[in-house]
Amino acid sequence: MNVVVLMILAAAVPYAAWSYWDKKRQARNAMRHEEAQQLGDDIFPITLHPEIDLDKCIGSGACIRACPEKDILAITDGRARLINPLACVGHSACMSACPVGAIKLIYGTATRGVELPKLSPHYETSQRGIYVVGELSGMGLIRNCVEQGRQAATAIVKEGRRGGDYDAIVVGSGPSGTAAALQLEAYNIRTLVVDQTAWGGTIAHYPRAKVVMTGSFELPGYGTVRKRTMSKEQLLELWRDIRARTQLHIEEGVRVEAIHAEGNVWRVVGTNGWVKRAANVVLALGRRGAPNTLGVPGEELPMVAYRVLEPQVYRDKHVLVVGGGNAAADNAIALVEQGHCASVSLSYRRTELGRLRGLVRNKIDKMFRSGQITPYLGTEVAEIHRDRVILRGARGTETVPCDAVIIQIGGRAPSELLRTIGIELVEKRGAA
């Protein structure tokens, strides 16, 4: 009898402990889900993200284990729920892993539409010879963007349109633009790549050491990249190596402002009188386009920036980061870890940071508690001066000593450029 009792206890104690901690975990997840719901549609990204049919869900947890970001879905009340959808990278692993088909990937929500260009299966727009790939098409994962670029380039080759200064101009040198250009070059198509900043596009703007989900992908003329995750430094090194080995024709510092039909070719107009003609144009611009601004006095001062390229530039300075998303939090963390700043503060209009990836949330919360970052939550910037910023909140106004301001509140998709070209746009509201 004693042996039987011991065997029962040996099984019961671990199960009781597991049940206790599982209940606590589900309660914590339920609280995070409720907090996310209170933010409304602001918690959903503009790119693909999961939608869960709760009537079908059996709470297997397979979707959570499959998710590469690990902090987007959680089990509460025996079913999977979204606790941080804004961090989704559109991987689709959750949808594939679900054993009962309870998950689909959608654009937008029923109440918050997302405007996207209408595209053919080969990413050609309503204007013949103009293609849209990457984030501007609604995709956010690097591997998917690369595949889109390759498919668009293959379609250009098969279509046979040629002429102009180049047969194809690729606007944007991030993952999708680079893949398109390399595929075109592999077929001996005269190709020019232009970027409004520098080679690598948005890659150059990631905070230092940020881990980027890629998955393996193939770049024509270069080879297969097999790493599933990379830091910003590794990704930049990869792009430098791509440029050195492939010798693409690239022009940097050219912001495309207009595209006009001119006979059988497209006339592409950029800043400072830059003009080139091509039979085909691939728009790999990303969705941010121009950054959103605060519209407050002093925002035109040189101390204001909209991204962090190198945190070391802010050494010994008092820096205020404005924003509550992953980009703002990543920048604030990078300034603490790499910038050797005199101080780092963060202002956000809401009272909680409810839109962060789990690892980012944990790190910035720890920095808040340790005093490495001073939080000014529930505040908005009212004025910017050369040595201080005036914040306005529920407690009135506060003055924050400040030598530099970094604004990370999103950006405007280049929809106006698409409209001027005559590209048809469609609004997605919870569309799969």
Q: What is the pLDDT of residues 23-75, one digit of tens each?
A: 777 677 666 666 666 555 556 666 678 888 889 999 888 988 888 767 788 88
Mean pLDDT of the chain: 84
Listed ranges 115-124, 201-210, 270-279; the one with the highest mean pLDDT? 270-279
Fold agreement (2-106, 292-410): no
pLDDT digits (tens, 9 = 90+) for 376-402: 999 999 999 999 999 999 889 999 999
Per-residue pLDDT, 212: 64
Write the DSSP symbol of residue 207: P
292-410: CATH topology: FAD/NAD(P)-binding domain (3.50.50)
Tokens of 58: 């059996």
Per-residue pLDDT, 110: 67
| pTM metric for this prediction | 0.67
Pairwise CA distance, residues 220 & 184, whole Å: 9
Give the strand pairing for 396-401 and 388-393. antiparallel
CATH annotation of 2-106: 3.30.70.20
pLDDT digits (tens, 9 = 90+) for 216-226: 888 888 888 88
CATH class of the region 114-289+413-428: alpha beta
Per-residue pLDDT, 395: 87
Per-residue pLDDT, 417: 84
Listed by start position, the domains of the chain span 2-106, 114-289+413-428, 292-410
Q: Please, what sign has the CA dihedral across residues 197, 201, 206, 210?
A: negative
Whether the per-residue pLDDT at 204 is higher than 70: the answer is no
Whether the per-residue pLDDT at 253 is higher than 80: the answer is yes
pLDDT digits (tens, 9 = 90+) for 183-202: 999 999 999 999 987 888 77
Burial 74-104 (b: 16+ CB within 10 A, else e): bbbeebbbbbbbbbbbbbbbbbebbeeebbb
* Nearest to 279, CA basis, from 124, 118, 130, 122: 130
Per-residue pLDDT, 100: 92
Segment 294-307 mean pLDDT? 88
pLDDT digits (tens, 9 = 90+) for 98-145: 999 988 888 767 666 677 888 899 999 999 999 999 877 776 678 888
Tokens of 8: 């029962």
Give the strand pairing for 343-348 and 290-291. unpaired
Whether the per-residue pLDDT at 289 is higher than 70: the answer is no
For residue 331, give the H/E element and its range: helix 326-334
pLDDT digits (tens, 9 = 90+) for 322-377: 999 888 998 899 899 988 899 999 999 998 887 777 778 889 999 999 999 999 99
Segment 251-266 mean pLDDT? 92
Per-residue pLDDT, 405: 95
Pairwise CA distance, residues 93 & 62, whole Å: 10
